[in-house]
Amino acid sequence: MDRWDMSRMPAFSDPSQQNPSEQSPLRLGVMASGNGSNFEALAQAIEAGTLRAELRLLVVNNPGCGAQQRAERLGVPCKVLDHRVLRNREDLDQALVDSFRAADVEVVVMAGWMRIVTPVLIEGFAGRLVNIHPSLLPSFKGLDGIGQALKAGVKVTGCTVHVVTEELDAGPILAQAAVDVDRDDDHDSLARKIHREEHQLLPAAINAMIPTWRDQASL
Ligand code: GAR
């Protein structure tokens, strides 16, 4: 089974044809609500040289969450925007836009962000806001994609990296990875298998999109 659909991804252009700004690392912002393993996978891919990017800022909405602890360990700047102390979703999203702009971020990744986002954020980073979701979209949108897949009894599920648009989990798909659901899989075991794929898929999908984002920026 093909693990990644790279057919929609542009190939890297010849580095010798690029001007210096095109060769600079992509300035990434990341949003996370929980454990943060996908955030750390991005950091590891950067360290390994397979993702040509730098982590400018992590924003978390749950103070003290795993993602924040990982950022502190990895030395990545981290900001807490606690949704409980903000008036509404729009205020949270405006604070996100302001924070990422202040950090000179080009592309924002929702790596386990468990809040619905509004046009304030989606339009603030139009075409440059990316989400990872634990199912093969368009199946099992919304909450608990893993539990939905188990309940449906599918034999194959997976994960999807997509651009965020206003319709929930429905924006253009950048990459997907498939995971077999075995007869004895439960939520924990399936989540572990999906996470393993996500940690490869997300950095690869971001890296493959860099030339496209850079081309758009230079228009
Ligand atoms: C990931 O599995 C991601 O696909 C999912 O949250 C998990 C975060 O894990 N995202 C969603 O469900 C978004 N609807 P992590 O905190 O270990 O990266």
Q: How far is the CA of 200 from the centre of ligand 1 (A)?
A: 14
State if residue 132 touches ligand 1 by the CB under 6 angstroms criterion.
yes
What is the pLDDT, as a whole number, of residue 98?
98
Kindly report whether the peptide bond that precedes residue 15 is cis, defined as omega within 30 degrees of 0: no
By 3-state DSSP, what share of the chain in percent is helix, strand and coil, each rounded to 5?
40, 20, 40
What is the pLDDT, as a whole number, of residue 176?
98
Residue type for 47, please? E
To test the ligand 1 pocket, which listed residue (33, 37, 40) has its Cβ within 8 A of the most ligand atoms?
Answer: 37
What is the pLDDT, as a whole number, of residue 23?
74
Please tell me whether residue 83 adopts helix, strand or coil conformation: helix
Nearest CA to ligand 1 atom 10: 112
Q: How far is the CA of 10 from the centre of ligand 1 (A)?
A: 26
pLDDT tens digits along 71-121:
999 999 999 999 999 999 999 999 999 999 999 999 999 999 999 999 999
Please tell me whether residue 82 adopts helix, strand or coil conformation: coil
Secondary structure of 174-203 in the HEC alphabet?
A: EEEEEEECCCCCCHHHHHHHHHHHHHHHHH
Nearest CA to ligand 1 atom 6: 112
What is the Cα–Cα distance from 165 to 121, expressed in whole angstroms? 10
pLDDT < 70 regions, the chain = 1-22, 219
pTM of the model: 0.91
Q: How far is the CA of 39 from the centre of ligand 1 (A)?
A: 10
Active-site residue set: 133
What is the pLDDT, as a whole number, of residue 20?
46
What is the pLDDT, as a whole number, of residue 2?
41
